Structure 1
Amino acid sequence: MAITSANQLELLQTAEAVAREKMIDPELVIEAMEESLARAAKSRYGAEMDIRVAIDRKTGRAAFTRVRTVVEDEELENYQAELTVAQAKQYLDDPKIGDTIVDEVPPVDLGRIAAQSAKQVILQKVREAERDRQYEEFKDRAGTIINGIVKREEYGNIIVDIGRGEGILRRNEKIGRESYRPNDRIRCFIKDVRREARGPQVFLSRTDPQFMAELFKMEVPEIYDGIIEIKAVARDPGSRAKIGVISYDGSIDPVGACVGMRGSRVQAVVNELQGEKIDIIPWNEDQATFLVNALQPAEVAKVVIDEEAGKIEVVVPDEQLSLAIGRRGQNVRLASQLTGLDIDILTEEEESQRRQAEFAERTKLFMDSLDLDEFFAQLLVSEGFTTLEEVAYVEMDELLTIEGVDEGTAAELQARARDVIEEQNRKAIENARALGAEDSLINFEGLTPQMIEALANDDVKTIEDFATCADWELAGGWTTVNGERVKDDGILEKFDMSLEEAQHLVMTARIQLGWVDPAELEAEAEEAEAGEEQEAEA
C-alpha cells in the first residue's frame, strides 16, 4: 500500500476512530502511525538509516525524510545516519557538531509483511496508551469503593468491568460463600493500582477491613462529615467484625449513630457483607478500657498491660472464658487485631494459681538466701520485696515499716543480702573468666557480673564483641512474620534490660573503642531534633 493522495485522509479518519474507541488522545495514534511507517521505510531503504515520517494533521499527507547528524571525525560509526564536519560542508555553509541534514525521500510501497508489521506497531502503541490512561484514571482512586459488573471468572478470580477499565477480584479477596455470574452487579474496594508487565492492574477486595470502613462512611453522614471517626477495624470476612469509633461532638453517641434508627445503617452494611455480624465499640484512648469494650460480650475482671513487650493479660471470671475467647478464638483474635496487642486470657483461678506460685518462689528465695523462717520470708514478699537487691539497697525506713522489724533486724537483713549478692557476683566473675571473658568486658561500666557471665556464655567475651551486638540481641524484641508477632530472645533480657539501655551501652562501647565520634553523634542528634521541630511547626 503506497501512501497516495487517495488514502491520505484515511490515516486521519482511522486515527480518530481508534482514539474514540479506545478513549485515548488521537495524537498518540498518529504518532504510532508515524513510527510504524518509519519502521517500514527502514526495511525498504536500510535499517541503519535514520528515516522519519511526519503526518500532516490537516491533510493526512505523510512526509518521509532521511536525517543525518554531524559528529566528530573519531565518533563516526554509522555512515548512513552520521557524517563529519568536512562531509557536511557540501550541504551546509557552516556546519557544527550536532547539526542535522534532512532530505526528503520517496514514500514507500508497503508490502504485505511491512503492512502487517506497521499494524502491530500501531496496536502496541495504542495498547500502551490505553494502559497509561487506565493507570492515570485509577491510581488516585485506591482506597475507595467502586461499583462494577462481573465480566467473567478466571481460575477463581473475578474480572470486573469498572467503566473505563477492568479490575481483578482475587479468590482470596472474596467473602467465603460469595459466587458471581456474568453481568452481576458488584461493589468492591480498590485495594491497589499497580503497573504490571501486561499493563496496569486494578486490584479489588471485599475482605479488606477498610472496605467495611468505607461502607460505614457511605451509610453514616456523621463519619463522612468527620464528626465521628473510625479508629480501628478488624474483620473475619463473612463471619464477624469489630469496629472502634469515637465522636468529636459530645452530643452525638458514636455507637448509636452507626447503628442508626432501628439498626437501619448497620443493617445496610451487614447486607452488603453477606450477613457479617458487626460489633460497634466506643474507642477509648486508654488501652485497657478499649480492650474491655472490645472483648464484649464477655465480662473482664482485670487487665495487665506490658507495653514494652506489646502484650496484654486479661483476667476473666471462670464462666466467661469461652465467651471471651469466642468460637475458634474469633472474639479474642478480633480484639487483638483491633488493639494491636497480643492478648493472653486467664481465668481468675489460673491467675490466682500463678500468683501463689510466684509468692512461693519468692518466699523460698528469701528463706534459702537470707536464712529466714517461712513466716518472715512471706512477710517480706507480702510487703512487695521481690529480689535480694531490693532488700540489700532499699532505704532503711522502708524495712522499718514492716511490723516487728527494728533497726537491728533491718541492718542484719541488709548485711545478709549484701553478703549473698557479693558471693554471687564473685562466682559469676569466676565463671565468666573460666569461659574466656577478658578484663575489657569485665571492667566495662554498666554491666553486672551476672550480665557478663550471660554474655560469656553466648560467646561475647571482649569489649569488641560487645560493641558489635545489636540492641535487640541484648534486650530482645518482637518481629512480625507473616502477620504474626514473633519473640526474639535477648542475651540480657532476663535482667530487665530495655532497648534504650542496650543502645546506650553498645554506643558507649563503640565510642570507647574509637569506632564512633561523639561529636558526630551529637551533630546528628541536633539535626534530628531540628527536623522534628520543623515537622511539629508544619
Structure 2
Amino acid sequence: MAITSANQLELLQTAEAVAREKMIDPGLVVEAMEESLARAAKSRYGAEMDIRVRIDRKTGRATFTRVRTIVEDEAVENYQAQLTADQAAKILRTGATPVTVVAGAEGRQFLLRAATEADARRMTGVSQTDAPAVGDEIVDEVPPVDLGRIAAQSAKQVILQKVREAERDRQFDEFKDRVGSIINATVKREEYGNVIVDVGAGEAILRRNEKIGREAYRPGDRIRAYVKDVRREMRGPQIFLSRTDPRFMAELFKMEVPEIYEGIIEIKAVARDPGSRAKIAVVSYDNSIDPVGACVGMRGSRVQAVVNELQGEKIDIIPWSEDIATFLVNALQPAEVSKVVFDEETSKIEVVVPEEQLSLAIGRRGQNVRLASQLTGRDIDILTEEQESSRRQKEFDERTQLFMGTLDLDEFFAQLLVAEGFRTVEEVAYVDQDELLGIDGVDESTAEELQARARDHIEAQRKAALDRARALGVEESLINFPGLTPPMIEALAADGVKTLEDFATLADWELAGGWTEVDGNRVKDTGILEKFDLSLEEARDMVMSARVALGWVDPDELDQGREEEAEEA
C-alpha cells in the first residue's frame, strides 16, 4: 500500500472514524499512524536510520523525512543517524535536494539550502546560515514507502496499540477525579469472589473483602459502590470499588440528607462493622437544626434508605462534641457511663460503667467499644465501678511499697505521700520543696532529708543502668548525647541501639511509639523509649539533633524547616 494522492484523505477519514468509535482525540490516532508509517519506512530504508513521518492534518499528505544529528567528531556511533559538522557542511555545499537544518541548542529553525530561491522566500521568519553546529539536525525528505503485507500488518499493530493506550489514558483521566464518590454500575461477572462491574468506559473491580457480608451478585444486577482508588498499571487503569469503606456510608448520607450536602450539617467521624453495625457522628452549624433528627428523617425515612443500601446494617447517629469526654459518652450509647478518665499524655481513656451496664458498653464481641474507639480515635478501657476501685487500691499499695522500699519510710508516711498525689521517686526528688512542706507533719528538715534520699536513690539507679549499658557495648558517643538519661540508654542498648549512628537512623515513632492503620483498625506500635513518656515531638527533635551532630543534616536547613512548620501551625 503506497501513500498516494488517491488515499491521502482516507488516512484522515480512518483516523476520524476510529476516534469516534473509541471516544478519543483524532490527533492521537494520526500520531499512531505517523509512528506506524515511520516503522515501516525504517524496515525499508534501514533500522538504524532516524525516519520520521508527518501527516498533514488538512490534506492527509504524508511526508517522510530522514533526520541526522550533528555530534562531536569522536562521538559518532551510528553513521546512518549521526554525522560531524564537517560532513554536514559538505552535504549543504554539494546537495541538490532541499535540506533543512533544525538548531537544537537555541530552538531555531532555518533553511540552509533550498531547491529554488522561491522556496527560500516562502520560508517566512527563517534565517540563512552556512555554519551548522553540534546539536543541530539535518533533515531531508525521502520518497514514500510502498507498504508490503508484513509492513502493513506491523503498522496496524502499532495503531491498535496506540489507540489502546489512548483509551486507557482517557479511562484513567475520567475516573481519577471520581475517587471518593459513589457510582452506579452493572455486574458483568464474578471471578474468585471478586465482582467485575461495567462502569461505562471500562471495568472496575469490587474485591470480596470490600463486599458487605455474604453479598452475592449475578450478571446484569445493578450495584452502587464507592470509588476507593484508581491506579495506573501495566495492564491499564485499575478502578477499585468498595462497599465496606466508612466513607461509602458518609457519601450515602450526603445523598439522602440535603443539609449534609449543603454543608449545614457535617459528618465528623464514621465507624463501621460492615453489614452489622455502624456509628456516625454529626454536628450542625445551624442552632435551629438538630443534626441527629435531620439524618434520621421523617419517621426514619432518610436513615432507612441508607440501611437498606447497606444490607440492614444498624446505624447509631450520635451528636459530635469538641469535649472528648462528652463525645465518648455519646459514642458508647446505649450504655450509661458513670465516669470518664482521660490521660492526655498517652491519649488513653478509661470509662467506668455500672456493673449491669458492662456487657452493653462492650457490646457483642466487643463491637460497641471497638466502634466507639474508631469513632473517637482513642484507645478505650472499659471498667466497672468495682474494678476501678480495686485497680486504684492496687496502685495505691504499689506506690506505697515503692516509697517504703526506696526512701526507707514507714507505711504511714509513704501512704501520706501517695495520698498527696506523688507517684514516682523523681517527683519527690525534684518537686518544689514548698509542696512537701504543705503536707501535715513535714517540716523543712524532713523535706530536705526526703529529697536527699530520693536523689541518692535516683543517682544509684542511673549509675547501675549506665554500667549495664556499657556492659552491653554502648559507645560513649551515645552515652554523652544530651537528652538521654542512663535508663533510656540502657533501654536503647537492650534493643540493639548502641551507637549515635544507630540512634540517628531511628524514626520518631520507633522511639515514642504510635499507631498504624491496618484494615481499618488502629494497631499500637510500641516505642523503645515510650515508657519514659517521650512525646513524638521530643523524639523527632532528639533524632534530628543526632543527625546534625553527625553532619548528616545542615543545622541552617533544620532551623529553616522548623520556622516553616511554626508558620504553618
Q: Normalising by structure 1, what TM-score?
A: 0.85
Aligned to 1:425: 459
Aligned to 2:48: 48
Is 1:26 the equivalent of 2:26?
yes
Query: How many Å separate the matches in 1 of 2:166 and 2:543?
Result: 55
Deviates more, 1:259-268 or 1:34-43: 34-43
- The structure 2 residue matched to 1:254, chosen from 291, 298, 315, is 291
Aligned to 1:122: 159
- Cα distance, 1:517 vs structure 2: 12
Q: Mind listing any 5+ residue stretches in structure 2 that lack a counterpart?
A: 96-111, 114-129
Is 1:104 the equivalent of 2:142?
yes
Change (3 A) 1:417 1:113: same
SS in 2 for 1:164: coil
Contact 1:53 1:62 in 2 (8 A): yes
Where does 1:158-177 land on structure 2 (aligned, <5 Å)? 158-177=195-214
Query: How many Å separate the matches in 2 of 1:35 and 1:469?
Result: 50
Change (3 A) 1:422 1:465: farther
One-letter amino acid of the counterpart of residue 181, structure 1: R
Contact 1:220 1:265 in 2 (8 A): yes
- Cα distance, 1:166 vs structure 2: 2.4
Contact 1:244 1:282 in 2 (8 A): yes
- Cα distance, 1:267 vs structure 2: 0.9
Change (3 A) 1:179 1:310: same
Aligned to 1:87: 91
Change (3 A) 1:457 1:138: closer
Is 1:208 the equivalent of 2:245?
yes
Where does 1:260-279 land on structure 2 (aligned, <5 Å)? 260-279=297-316
- Cα distance, 1:220 vs structure 2: 0.8
Query: How many Å separate the matches in 2 of 1:133 and 1:420?
Result: 72
Aligned to 2:512: 476
SS in 2 for 1:281: strand
Aligned to 2:562: 528
Query: How many Å separate the matches in 1 of 2:323 and 2:229?
Result: 33
Aligned to 1:490: 528
SS in 1 for 2:266: strand
- Cα distance, 1:198 vs structure 2: 1.3
Aligned to 2:104: none
- Cα distance, 1:201 vs structure 2: 1.8
Aligned to 1:142: 179
Query: How many Å separate the matches in 1 of 2:469 and 2:66?
Result: 82
Change (3 A) 1:52 1:305: same
Q: Mind listing any 5+ residue stretches in structure 1 that lack a counterpart?
A: none
Change (3 A) 1:258 1:506: closer
One-letter amino acid of the counterpart of residue 13, structure 2: Q
Query: How many Å separate the matches in 2 of 1:8 and 1:471?
Result: 64
Spell out, residue by residue over 1:20-72, the C-alpha distance to the aligned partner (whole angstroms, 9 max, x if none). 11001122212212221222222223222333333344444444444445555
One-letter amino acid of the counterpart of residue 26, structure 2: P
- Cα distance, 1:245 vs structure 2: 0.8
Query: How many Å separate the matches in 2 of 1:498 and 1:45?
Result: 70
Where does 1:302-381 land on structure 2 (aligned, <5 Å)? 302-369=339-406, 372-381=409-418
Change (3 A) 1:395 1:114: closer
Change (3 A) 1:286 1:112: same
Query: How many Å separate the matches in 1 of 2:74 and 2:493?
Result: 67
Change (3 A) 1:441 1:376: same
Query: How many Å separate the matches in 2 of 1:342 and 1:361?
Result: 24
Is 1:38 the equivalent of 2:38?
yes
One-letter amino acid of the counterpart of residue 104, structure 1: V
Spell out, residue by residue over 1:274-311, the C-alpha distance to the aligned partner (whole angstroms, 9 max, x if none). 11111111111122211111111111222222333332
Contact 2:264 2:284 in 1 (8 A): yes
Query: How many Å separate the matches in 1 of 2:486 and 2:36?
Result: 79
Change (3 A) 1:420 1:465: farther
